[in-house]
Amino acid sequence: MDLDLSESERAFRDEARAWLAANVPAEPLPSMDTEEGWRLHQEWEAMLAEARWAVVSWPEEYHGRGASLVEWVLFEEEYYRAGAPGRVSQNGIFLLSPILFGYGTQEQQDRFLPSMATGEQIWAQCWSEPEAGSDLASLKSTATRDDERGGWVLNGQKTWSSRATYAHWGFGLFRSDPEAQRHAGLTYFLFPLDADGVTVRPIAQLDGEAGFAEVFLDDVFVPDADVLGGVGDGWRVAMSTAGNERGLSLRSPGRFCAAADRLVALYRERPDARAADGVVDAWLRAHAYRLYTWGTVTRLADGGEMGAAGSVNKVFWSELDIALHETALDLLGPESELESTWLDGYTFSLSGPIYAGTNEVQRNIVAERILGLPREPKGAGR
């Protein structure tokens, strides 16, 4: 048992640190959910890809470095410590790419992965529907077979689609077998957001910016080549995405450790004994998360699986993120309501317990799949 890095891991970390120090923009970029901010974030992604830092864990042929899990975590630590921009390509590189690597055809991988890595094509996730939130399997959007054209015709409405306002492609689940119930008969589709029949309507979020959108699909044709995984197998395929989103990949410990360090720095500038416990607890929990992640990385490297532990993870980091930012606002006192990066971080943190499976759903998963508690009796509350 040890936390030591190998020589090559240290070299990798040092190389990342040096590149980031030389290239991270001195001033934070404007919000990626504005037109100018979007363009600048896309340019940043292109720069990362050019230097092969965009997708370090991917194979070299797709702009990666074939980095190990340990190296990926190290890169993320350096990335957030350097204060580098948020990843506008996040939906694609963190959520969709594991599915493309796992279930996509060679042709799909070759067609989609390179432009995803360079940020040329940005992906939006199209999961929720107006009547299907936590109960995602009750979704109603349909896919109807079109043998003549060799594909499917999509109809329905998706909502809370992150990045859909400016993104180029969407991915999501549609009911391809109207006779099948719930988890059965769903298929995973990829579709361009500028296809005929697609209407994207931006939704202003709590901070006023259009970070997500509604997506209306009206007889949208999708060729067979853009079905991901097997027809009718969409639930299984999608759940492996959700596992990634909840689990290790989306919230690397680096971001919380970097935020905790900034919180300690803020406390040094504006010490306030009343907020001291919050500062200590934020630091403590960020480092608990870092060390916990090294444990997860060790188990995954030994061939273990994330499984329901992703739900333990998600509840913890989402609540830590809010508490950390609340403490920062406490320290800022009456000025906390003024626009600032702390306020932006706080507002964003509020979405954590909601997206990627609400924390209530996660706690059910922890209770049922880890503690082995009985499921709710069928029909209760329905």
Please, which residues have CB within 8 angstroms of residue 206's CB and are 6 or more apart in sequence? 347, 350, 351
Stretch that binds another protein, among 116-124, 212-220, 239-247, 298-306 (CB under 8 A): 298-306
Q: Is 358 in the site for another protein (CB under 8 A)?
A: no
Least separation in angstroms between residue 132's CB and another protein is: 20
**Buried (b) or exposed (e) across 124-147, using 16+ Cβ within 10 A?**
bbbbbbeebbeebeebebbbeeee
Q: Is 366 in the site for another protein (CB under 8 A)?
A: yes
| Long-range contacts at 364-372 (CB < 8 A, ≥ 24 apart) | 365/308, 365/311, 366/308, 366/311, 366/312, 366/315, 369/307, 369/308, 369/311, 370/308, 370/309, 370/311, 370/312
245 given a catalytic annotation: yes
Contact criterion met (CB below 8 Å) for 144 and 152:
yes
3-state secondary structure of 227: strand
What residues are paired with 158 via a beta bridge?
215
Q: Is 70 in the site for another protein (CB under 8 A)?
A: yes
Contact criterion met (CB below 8 Å) for 191 and 169:
yes
Least separation in angstroms between residue 248's CB and another protein is: 14
Least separation in angstroms between residue 280's CB and another protein is: 5
Binding footprint of another protein, residue count (CB under 8 A): 50
Q: Is 323 in the site for another protein (CB under 8 A)?
A: no
Q: Is 135 in the site for another protein (CB under 8 A)?
A: no
Q: Is 297 in the site for another protein (CB under 8 A)?
A: yes
Question: Between the CA of residue 226 and those of 149, 153, 321, what are the distances in Å?
Answer: 13, 12, 36
Contact criterion met (CB below 8 Å) for 157 and 215:
yes
What dihedral angle (degrees, nearest 10) is formed by the CA atoms of 365, 370, 372, 378?
10
Q: Is 8 in the site for another protein (CB under 8 A)?
A: no
Q: Is 5 in the site for another protein (CB under 8 A)?
A: yes
Least separation in angstroms between residue 159's CB and another protein is: 25
What crossing angle do the helices spanning 309-332 and 253-269 adopt, rounded to 10°?
20
When binding is defined by CB under 8 A, the residue of 82, 231, 242, 288 that contacts another protein is: 288
Q: In terms of residues, how long is the chain? A: 382
Least separation in angstroms between residue 172's CB and another protein is: 28
Q: Which of 45, 129, 209, 245 is catalytic?
A: 245
Q: From CA 349, how far away is CA 51, in angstroms rounded?
A: 30
Q: Is 60 in the site for another protein (CB under 8 A)?
A: no
When binding is defined by CB under 8 A, the residue of 19, 216, 292, 348 that contacts another protein is: 292
Q: Is 103 in the site for another protein (CB under 8 A)?
A: no
Q: Is 338 in the site for another protein (CB under 8 A)?
A: no
Least separation in angstroms between residue 316's CB and another protein is: 6
Q: Is 134 in the site for another protein (CB under 8 A)?
A: no
* Residue in the structure block whose two tokens are 């329901």: 308
Binding mask 265-284 for another protein (x = CB under 8 A): --xx--x----xx-xxx-xx
Whichever of 18 and 373 has its CB closer to another protein, that residue is 373
Which residues are marked as active site? Answer: 245
- Residues within the interface to another protein (CB under 8 A): 1-6, 9, 70, 264, 267-268, 271, 276-277, 279-281, 283-285, 287-289, 291-292, 294-295, 297-299, 302, 309, 312, 315-316, 360, 362-364, 366-368, 370-377
